[in-house]
Amino acid sequence: MASIAQTTISPVKGSFNLSNYDCVRKSFDWEDASKELHFWESGKVNAAYETIDRHVVDGYGDKIALHYINENEKRSLTFSEVKEKTDHYGRILKQHGVKKGDRVFIFLPKTPECYISILAVIKIGAIAGPLFEAFMEDAVKDRINDCKGTVLITDKDLVQRVQRADIPSLETILFSEDIEATPVENDREEVVEWLGKEDGLIIHYTSGSTGKPKGVLHAHRSMIHHLQSGKWVLDIKDDDVYWCTSHPGWVTGSVYGLFAPWLNRATIVIQGGRFKAENWYQLMEDLKVTTWYSAPTAFRMLMSQGDLFKNYDLSSLRHILSVGEPLNPEVIHWAWNNLGLRIHDTWWMTETGGHLIVNLPAELIKPGSMGRPFPGITVGILDDEGNELPRGEVGQLAVRAPWPGLMKEIWGNKDKFDSYFKYEGWYSSGDLALQDEDGYVFFQGRSDDMINSAGERIGPFEVESKLIEHPAVAEAGVIGKPDALRGELVKAFITLRTGFQESEELLEEIRLFVRKNLSAHAAPREIEVMNELPKTKISGKILRRKLKEWEIQKVQ
């Protein structure tokens, strides 16, 4: 059995009510959960209506829906204003002939207009395809071509990266700068297109950590999952100011940056501009952010800034969450010791449409674990034949299918879609994990990342986490390097913290540190110091695939 972290962190007394969570664990039911949305009675389905218009109908039109902040601009919009703007954008799209099921791409920086465009597309029954603002020409072209997008909403700056001649399906480009001022022909026309739960909602391309990004199509039924995970995991309350740092071009930025918080009527923060530790802390102080959802890379960057947080009043902050990559125990301890808050890890994928493994606010956290299955979700650890393994053994992380947020299809690739369901009744994630006796799931790596050295299976994440516990190590990526004798040997790529110089002695010290504190067989035999680790564009995941490619090239 792989080693499991022994320490646990309990929630701060009085901050959450544990009995609520005990109750939801026992009694949660997806059917009951969906009754909280209007469509249950009206029979009319549209996720944009549920996200925004419903709150106006229910009398919350004057509540602040969003605060927007970037280096030289600051503004806020109420739910009524967001509704009116999405209606207007929707009408303009209709004037351009956009119909139910059309793919409309949105290529905009993180501005209110980006969020409004996504909702407007959904409101009129089309499928939204949000693109990350840092994508360059090929990334934009490949995605729009893949699912034959017909319309693109962008701005006069980003349009320079759109090679229109190479995107034959693209009929119309609209500029967000112009939409606002364009008059509508019929402002009384009903904008909302009523749909079925299985109709297409949004298409997201995966991060591309393991290969070509896949076009994952989600259906309107996902909003049941978004609403419930927003309520229980993000723990959204009416007076919360909620900030998700991801751009809506990534699934976290749409599901947990837009749908889940707004379905729960939260005031959200939209922050433009790049990461800068000072700006992030300042934003949290200025807007009195209560709930903050980010990623391990960002937490590690803040951690490397040491005591900087002491210059800011972060007393409004009550709930922190993380997603996207393994959350190293060291990072959890840093937040606990310095900010006095626990970081709640969450595990899910573009394909899963919502949280599947979580740390609910009131529950015990085991640093190193991603948490436990969300209520209503059953996890299995499977062997290569699809049989369930006993607790404590490492195998393929699978989930009983279906659930409301599960993808509808991989665009144009039925074989790929089917490959997730190769074991009867299960969705296979492609990640490796173990589950302990208490139900906590420990990530071990992606199936492709697992290292096999002299017959031992070694998960890169555990080694990376140990490496960054060493004071000299800022970040680490660990791979199996092909080796004639052992099959593979453990090789680590690291970056050093400021103030440390590379030397033989230091690398040996780091190696011994892992050997002593983790195990001899997992201690890296080779350590290479780099200025920077290769990462996926801005979603910032360490690309072990790249590291491995380099190593293989060197050997050849």
Query: What angle do the packed helices 504-517 and 460-467 form, to 10 degrees?
Result: 120
- Ramachandran angles phi, psi of 367, nearest 5°: -55, 135
Closest separation between CB of residue 446 and ligand ATP, Å?
5
Where does residue 193 rank: exposed (0-12), middle (13-18), buried (19+ CB within 10 A)?
buried
Strands (E), 454-534: 456-458, 473-483, 487-496, 526-529
Of 90 and 296, the one with the shorter C-beta distance to ligand ATP is 296
**Stretch of residues binding ligand ATP (CB under 6 A), selected from 19-27, 279-287, 340-348, 484-492:** 340-348
Binding residues with ligand ATP: total (CB under 6 A): 24
φ and ψ of 32, to 5 deg: -60, -40
For 45, counting Cβ atoms within 10 Å of its Cβ (0-12 exposed, 13-18 middle, 19+ buried), the class is buried
Residue span binding Mg ion (CB under 5 A) among the ranges 31-39, 51-59, 206-214, 464-472:
206-214
Question: Shortest approach of ligand ATP to residue 326 CB, angstroms?
Answer: 4
Partner interacting with residue 326 (select from Mg ion, ligand ATP, none; CB below 5-8 Å by kind):
ligand ATP
- Residue 121 has φ and ψ, to the nearest 5°, of -60, -45
Minimum CB distance to ligand ATP smaller for 34 or for 539 = 539
How many CA atoms does the CB half-sphere of 534 hold within 13 Å? 13
How far from 78 is each of 47, 81, 495, 514, CA to CA, in Å?
19, 5, 44, 52
* 186-245 residues near ligand ATP, rule: CB under 6 A: 206-211, 213
Q: Does 132 bind ligand ATP (CB under 6 A)?
A: no
Rg of the chain taking only CA atoms, in angstroms? 23
In the numeric block, which tokens belong to residue 549? Answer: 């490619």
* CA gap 528, 476 in Å, rounded: 10
SS3 at position 546: helix
Site string for ligand ATP, 354-373 (x = CB under 6 A): ----------------x---
Q: In the range 518-547, which residues lie near ligand ATP by CB under 6 A?
A: 541
Q: Which positions from 422 to 461 touch ligand ATP by CB under 6 A, shown as an x/- string?
A: -------xxx-----------x--x---------------
- What's the rounded Cα separation, in Å, for the pair 166 and 182? 28
CB of 433 to ligand ATP, least distance (A): 9
Take residue 263 and report the two structure tokens written for it: 């379905």
| 324 is a site residue for ligand ATP (CB under 6 A) | yes
- In the list Mg ion, ligand ATP, none, the entry touching 324 (Cβ below 5 to 8 angstroms by class) is ligand ATP
431 binds, among ligand ATP, Mg ion, none (CB under 5 to 8 A by kind): ligand ATP
Cβ nearer to ligand ATP, comparing 89 with 293: 293
Give the DSSP H or E segment for 67. strand 64-70
Q: Which is nearer to ligand ATP, 491 or 541 (CB)?
A: 541
Binding span for ligand ATP by CB under 6 A among 17-25, 129-137, 320-328, 505-513: 320-328
Count residues binding Mg ion (CB under 5 A). Answer: 1
Q: Decide: 460 and 445 in contact? Cβ < 8 Å.
A: yes
Retrieve residue 128's tokens. 């939204």
Could you tell which of Mg ion, ligand ATP, none binds residue 493, using a CB distance below 5 to 8 A set by kind?
none
Please report whether residue 271 would count as binding ligand ATP according to CB under 6 A: no
| 342 near ligand ATP (CB under 6 A) | no
Looking at residue 332, the DSSP 8-state letter turns out to be H
Q: Which residue is nearest to Mg ion (CB)?
A: 206
Non-local (6+) Cβ contacts of 91 within 8 A are 184, 185, 186, 187, 189, 191
CB of 259 to ligand ATP, least distance (A): 16
Q: Does 345 bind ligand ATP (CB under 6 A)?
A: yes
446 binding partner (options ligand ATP, Mg ion, none; Cβ < 5 to 8 Å by kind): ligand ATP
472 binds, among Mg ion, ligand ATP, none (CB under 5 to 8 A by kind): none
Structure tokens at 350: 């573009």
- Our CB check for Mg ion shows the closer of 206 and 246 to be 206
Nearer to ligand ATP, 429 or 453 (CB): 429
Nearest CB to ligand ATP, comparing residues 149 and 326: 326
Q: Is 290 a residue that touches ligand ATP (CB under 6 A)?
A: no
C-alpha distance from residue 331 to each of 256, 327, 341 (Å): 22, 7, 11
Angle between helical axes of 277-287 and 296-303 (0-180°, round to 10): 100
Percentages of the chain per state (helix, strand, coil), in multiples of 5: 35, 25, 40
Does 102 bind ligand ATP (CB under 6 A)? Our answer is no
Place of tokens 């603002």: 133
CB of 348 to ligand ATP, least distance (A): 6
From 60-68, 171-179, 202-210, 359-367, span contacting Mg ion (CB under 5 A):
202-210
With beta carbons less than 8 A apart as the criterion, state whether 378 and 400 touch: yes
Is residue 350 part of the contact set for ligand ATP (CB under 6 A)? yes
Q: Is 299 in the site for ligand ATP (CB under 6 A)?
A: no
Q: What are phi and psi of 392, to 5 degrees?
A: 95, -15
| Contact window for ligand ATP (CB under 6 A) among 116-124, 347-355, 374-382, 414-422 | 347-355
Site string for ligand ATP, 486-505 (x = CB under 6 A): --------------------
Of residues 2 and 64, the one with the C-beta less far from ligand ATP: 2
Contact 301, 261 (CB under 8 A): no
Q: Can you state the angle between helices 296-303 and 329-338, rounded to 10 degrees? A: 50
Backbone torsion region of residue 376, taken as left when φ is above 0, otherwise alpha when ψ lies between -120 and 50, otherwise beta: left
Kindly state the smallest distance separating residue 85's Cβ from ligand ATP, in Å. 29
Q: Which of 139, 255, 268, 349 binds ligand ATP (CB under 6 A)?
A: 349
Q: Which residues bind Mg ion (CB under 5 A)?
A: 206
Q: Which residues bind ligand ATP (CB under 6 A)?
A: 206-211, 213, 323-327, 345-347, 349-350, 370, 429-431, 443, 446, 541
